[in-house]
Copies of this chain bind each other. A is one copy, B any other.
Amino acid sequence: MRVEPIRWRDGTLSLLDQTLLPTQTLRREYRDYRQVARAIETMVVRGAPAIGVTAAYGVALAARELSEAGATDWRPGLDAAIRTLAATRPTAVNLFWALERMGAAADRLRGETAATAAAALAAEAEAIRAADVAANRRLGAHGAALLPDPCTVLTHCNAGALATAGYGTALGVVRAAKESGKRVRVVADETRPLLQGARLTAWELAEDDIDVTLISDNMAGYRLQRGGVDAVVVGADRVAANGDAANKIGTYPLAVLAREHGVPFYIAAPLSTVDFATASGAGIPIEQRDHREVTHLAGQRVAPQGISVWNPAFDVTPAALITAIVTEAGVARAPYGAALAALRDAAQAAESVR
């Protein structure tokens, strides 16, 4: 895998600017957590797991800043940074999960100097990053086993290496299928309005020499209708305790169409994406984004002035339309409430044994 969306070296966070792909490959460097928050908001980095990892590094940068400023009581400043990072995007739960994990690490560092805390929090962020890649590889292997050989996978948005610390969730399943020797082709929705499918998924699959066909979102129905698609595999930004899954806008119609045509619909997401505190999809906040994302393309206005625009960034697919949820701990099937809790408990038990 040649794609490294998030890199940490010598106390500097480096992000591959995903707003410029595929025409420009530019890395941006961050030493200020406020700039990291802005990078999450403006989608320099996006994808639920990648947002979580990036926010964790943002906390590490805040800790270093407090240490360099000679703070003795570093915790209030750290909490302010955590609040700033938490206010960037509302839907992806991995953001809150990662910030909570950093907060818990800070709790364990009570009484330590700011310098000690900064070093320990950087190590914690690095552990979150490494765990994400490892989880995606396990998730990919579980998902790959569900695919026939040869197979054509339809995906939406980018749940790839770029959406994670590496390897990807939905595209991790594709990569694992290829690594296991299966012949796998991908049909990628371009994913309006920000075109993550065209810009990111097509790009990272082409980089990995995986066969990809780009379509606009509204072609997926016809593609499923004419046959030849073996599975729909997408990521998630938040999975409720009952299995309802929020993902990039346009995911829900794919689930309805997949059922219409008897094609399995899989969610690929690490357990950090499952929000056990939210009972159902009705409790997941849906981010509304700037109207300009719809009215302008490549900086040019494509819609008349003075009209209304509705631009929700996500929709929620009801659990009933989901064939299975693939996690790093195994494959959950309905009823999801029990299945997801069992996977979580098994993962925690395995963790405590280590």
Residues of A within 8 A of B (CB): 22-23, 156, 187, 189-193, 195, 198-199, 202-203, 205-206, 211-223, 225, 249-250, 252-253, 256-257, 260, 294-295, 297-304, 306-312, 315-316
Contacts and interface: CB of A to CB of B under 8 A. Distances in A.
B225 A252 contact: yes
Nearest to A303: B198
Contacts of A256: 221, 256-257, 260
Nearest to A193: B216
Contact of A217 (B205, B218, B303): B218
B198 A23 contact: no
Nearest to A219: B249
A215 B309 contact: yes
11 contacts: A22-B302, A22-B304, A23-B302, A189-B218, A203-B303, A214-B295, A219-B249, A222-B252, A222-B316, A253-B257, A256-B257
A253 B309 contact: no
Q: Which of A221, A260, A300 has the most CB of B within 10 A?
A: A221
Contacts of A219: 249-250, 310-312, 315
Contacts of A299: 298
A72 to B, nearest CB: 50
Given A23-B301, A249-B222, A302-B198, A206 B307 contact: yes
Contacts of A195: 297, 302-303
A contact face: mostly helix, strand, loop, or mixed:
mixed
A181 to B, nearest CB: 22
A302 B300 CA distance: 14
Contact of A214 (B23, B199, B202, B307): B307
Given A225-B315, A253-B257, A297-B298, A309 B214 contact: yes
Nearest to A21: B304
Contact of A218 (B203, B253, B316): B253
A191 B294 CA distance: 11
B216 A249 contact: yes
Contacts of A205: 307
Contacts of A190: 192, 294, 302-303
A206 B310 contact: no
Contacts of A193: 216
Nearest to A188: B307
Contacts of A249: 216, 218-219, 222
